[in-house]
Structure 1
Amino acid sequence: MKTSIIVQNLKCGGCANTITSKLSEINNVLDLKIDIDESKVSFNYKNEVDVLAVKDKLKTLGYPSIEDINSLTSKAKSFVSCAIGKF
C-alpha cells in the first residue's frame, strides 16, 4: 500500500537526506520519496504498524506530521537533523 504524510519543518535537501536515511532503516518501508516543496513524505508499506513507525521516527527527528504539535523541541531537532543531512 502507498501513503503520504505531510510533515512540519521540512525545509531543504539536508532535511530530506536525513529523513531518507533514517526511514530506510525501517522494515517494510519501500519506495521512499521526499517532496520538499509540499513537505510530503511518500512511501509504500505492508501494514499500519509500518506507518506508525514512520510517524514516530519522523517525530523523533523533528519532523512531526501536520496533525501533531510542532513544539520548540521539534523545531530544534529538525535543525540538527537538517545540519547532519548536509554532511
Structure 2
Amino acid sequence: MEMTITVQNLRCGGCVNTITTKISEMENIQDVMVDREASSVSFQYTEPEDASKVKDKLKKLGYPEIDDENSLLTKASSMLSCATGKF
C-alpha cells in the first residue's frame, strides 16, 4: 500500500536526507520519497500499523503531519534533524 503524508518544518536538503534515511530504516517500509516543495513524504508499507509508526517517527524527528500541533519542542527537534541530515 502507498501513503503520502504532508508534514511541517520541512525546509532543506538536510531535512530530506534525515527523513529519507530514518524512514527507510523502518521495517516493512519501502520506496521512501520526500518532496521538499510539497512538504510531503511518500512511502510503501505492508500493514496499517506500519503507516502509524511512520507518522510517529516523523513527529519524533520534528516533522508532524500538517494538522498536528507544531510546538516549540517539535520545531527544535526538526532543526536538530535538519542539521544532522546535512552531514
* TM-score (ref. length: structure 1): 0.97
Number of equivalenced pairs: 87
Q: Does 1:29 align with 2:29?
A: yes
Give 2:83's aligned amino acid: A
**Alignment partner, residue 16 of structure 2:** 16
**What's the secondary structure of 2:66's corresponding residue?**
coil
Could you list the runs of 5+ residues in structure 2 that have no partner in the other structure?
none
**Alignment partner, residue 56 of structure 1:** 56
**Alignment partner, residue 72 of structure 2:** 72
Could you list the runs of 5+ residues in structure 1 that have no partner in the other structure?
none
Give 1:23's aligned amino acid: I
Q: Is the 8 A contact 2:24 2:31 kept in 1?
A: no
Q: Distance in 1 between matches of 2:48 and 2:6?
A: 17
Deviation at 1:67, TM superposition (A): 1.8
* TM-score (ref. length: structure 2): 0.97
Per-residue CA distance 1:15-64 (angstroms, 9 max, x = gap): 01001111111111111000000000000111111100100000000000
Q: Distance in 2 between matches of 1:75 and 1:81?
A: 10
CA RMSD in angstroms comes to 0.6
